[in-house]
Structure formats: structure tokens, C-alpha cells
Amino acid sequence: MDAAVAEFARRGYHAASMDEIAERAGISKPMLYLYLGSKEDLFLACIRREADRVRTAVTSVLDDGLAPDDQLWTGLRAFFTVVAEHRDAWLVLHQQAPAHGDPFATEVAALRTSIVDFVAVLIRRSVAERAGARSRRRTVDDTAALAHALVGSCEALADWSVTADEDPDTTAARLMNFAWLGLDNLLRGERWATPRTRRRVPGRRSAR
């Protein structure tokens, strides 16, 4: 499986060779087919294993005793650590699998959904603990969108981190600074106003 992940990450699904995977693994090609089936079966098995690895890394650090921001920080550290330690796996999950449709893309979509759900729970907890009644109502409506936005940022930063060779804690802190500080203000009831909805400051002329 390790040999297959390395080969798929290096060459892509279609160009990956079962002969080279078998050679990397130190077994014969017939034995590879016997153990893991066709190349499609092998690719799917790799995706499932690596998706489970990421999911377990993130969800295993859940601790209801932590404050929501501390819990998110812990989850982000776990995520970026597993990406740093298994870079080939991340390339297979986030670049190769979605590009080749079902059933591969379905497995990755399920992983993403579970992570989005995790983030949504943290946002809801934050709302319940800190926001006022009016802000709570408005923020809950935004929970799904905010969770998707945060996970999307996380995925984009992970793509960057696999080539930047940055410490996972530093990468996690980058995202906390970018996302949580804004979310914290949102939970306090603050909203960015579009130019059309901004109130005119007394004594100030409108720009033309």
C-alpha cells in the first residue's frame, strides 16, 4: 500500500505502473494482483486507507472540555501534521482521486463532509457560548457556509504546505490567525458592511 501511494503520487493514476508498484513493494506482480486486485481496486484501497488516517487524526483529538478555539487549534495541528508526515497520501487524496471521478471522488467527498461537520460543531458551540441572541440566530444560519469556507482554506493551505516544507504548528497558526480572528468578531455580532450598506460617517464627504 505504501508503495502504491508513492507511485500514484509520483505518476498519477493512469500512468502508475503495477510492475513498478510490485517492484517497490518487493513482491511479484501476480502476488500484487492476488492481494489487492486490479489497479482500480488498489487505488481505491489506498484512498480509503489514507482518508481514514486523516479522519482519525482529526477526530481523535476531539475534547469537549476544551474551548472551541483550542479544539479547532488542536484539530488543525493534527490535520497539518498528518499531511506533513504523509505528503504522498495528501497528493493522492486531494489531487489524484477527485480528478478521476467515482468511486474515488466519492470517498474523498465523504472525508470532506466529516471534516466540515466537525468544524460546524465547533462553530455552533462557539455561538452557543459567546454570541447574543440576535447574533446567535444569524450566525447559526451561516454555520454550514462558514464551515465549508474554513475547510476549503485548510485544504488550500495543505496544498501549499506539501511543497513549502513548513512546520505543521506554524501552518496551523497561520490558519488560526486568518480564520479564527475573523470568526471571533463574527461571534461578537460584528459584520462587515458592503459599500452600499455602510452608514455615512458624519462630517465626511462621500468619495466620488
Average pLDDT, the chain: 84
- Identify the CATH class of 47-187: mainly alpha
Q: What is the pLDDT of residues 121-137, one digit of tens each?
A: 888 877 777 655 444 45
Q: Where residue 206 falls among pLDDT bands split at 50, 70, 90?
A: very low
Q: What is the pLDDT of residues 49-61, one digit of tens each?
A: 999 999 999 888 8
CA atoms 189, 190, 195, 200: torsion sign: positive
What three-state secondary structure class fits 196?
coil
Q: What is the pLDDT of residues 9-50, one digit of tens each?
A: 999 999 999 999 999 999 999 999 998 999 999 999 999 999
Q: Where residue 79 falls among pLDDT bands split at 50, 70, 90?
A: very high
Q: What is the pLDDT of residues 63-77, one digit of tens each?
A: 778 887 888 889 899
For residue 204, pLDDT beyond 60 = no
- Residue 67 has a CB neighbour count (10 Å cut-off) of 14
For the whole model, what pTM was predicted?
Answer: 0.80
> Could you tell me the three cell numbers for 134?
440576535
- pLDDT given for residue 95 in this prediction: 87
**CA-to-CA distance for 104 and 108, rounded, in angstroms?**
7
For residue 91, pLDDT beyond 70 = yes
Q: Where residue 188 falls among pLDDT bands split at 50, 70, 90?
A: low
Helices (H) and strands (E) in the chain, counts: 11, 0
